[in-house]
Amino acid sequence: MTAISEEIVHIKGYPQKLIIFLHGYIDNCEGLNRRIMPFFYNLDNIALHMPEAPVTCEIYEHKRQWFSMHRFDPDDDRKTVPTLKECTDIYASMGRGFDESYRYLIDYIEMCMNEYQLEAKDIFLCGFSQGAMLAIYTVLRYPEKFGGCISFSGILATPNYFYKHKHQTPSVLLIHGDEDNLVRYGVLEYTRDHLSELGCNVSTYTVKGGQHRITPDGLKQAEEFIKIHSK
């Protein structure tokens, strides 16, 4: 059975909020940890957990993935197809991968909730790239409402699933670089529109000249989002 068994954890003060941050595809929690520490330093009374995906990456064996992208898009066409619809249709085909990842991620999240004696409303689920896509999927699908969700370079990959099934409506912050060459910038508006139609309170931030990475200004926006939604 797939399960999360590795993580990096930082605690400041007496945790009243839990931030769970999911790394991207072809990545790991160690690499993510280096990139987001300024975000942690400016928050108080929190626990920050960075779980490591339990699946070995299909491209580089020393990296991780939440699920196989090549299983659904063997030639990485999502990066190069000419239209946004063709791109989003490829992501929409990945529903089974998100479902499988959701099932083992939820076990981890609930373990963390019990550890700190917190509720779903006290949790902010964040992610980068594939981790952001899984974060969005998870906060919509989980039976209780999370405190919020922050997506760096992500997309709502399976909107039709949530139009057909009961879902939660957490507040969501979408952060995306307008020169992202891996997850195209156009998915920001696509995701915002679908999440809004589903009933979520959505805010967005465009990283000017931003490529496929987490940037200091994006982290600042995430920090402010958490502070506002922690009141």
CB 198 within 8 A of CB 158: no
pLDDT tens digit string along 102-125?
999 999 999 999 999 999 999 999
Residue 40 pLDDT exceeds 90: no
What is the rounded average pLDDT for all residues in the chain?
96
* Residues 18-39, mean pLDDT to the nearest whole number: 95
SS3 124: strand
Residue 225 pLDDT exceeds 80: yes
* Residues 132-159, mean pLDDT to the nearest whole number: 98
Residue 220: per-residue pLDDT: 96
* Residues 1-30, mean pLDDT to the nearest whole number: 94
Residue 132 pLDDT exceeds 80: yes
CB 150 within 8 A of CB 138: no
β-bridge pairing 17-22 and 123-128: parallel
Residue 58: per-residue pLDDT: 97
- pLDDT-based confidence at residue 166 (cuts at 50, 70, 90): very high
Q: How far is Cα 213 from Cα 210, in angstroms, rounded to an integer?
A: 7
Residue 38: per-residue pLDDT: 85
pLDDT tens digit string along 61-93?
999 999 999 999 999 999 999 999 999 999 999
CATH architecture assignment, domain 7-228: 3-Layer(aba) Sandwich (3.40)
Residue 203 pLDDT exceeds 90: yes
* Residues 20-49, mean pLDDT to the nearest whole number: 94
Domain spans of the chain, in order of start: 7-228
The tokens describing 30, both together, are 């160690």
- pLDDT-based confidence at residue 1 (cuts at 50, 70, 90): low
CB 113 within 8 A of CB 136: no
Residue 39: per-residue pLDDT: 85
For a pLDDT cut of 70, what percent of the chain falls above it?
100
Q: How far is Cα 231 from Cα 221, in angstroms, rounded to an integer?
A: 16
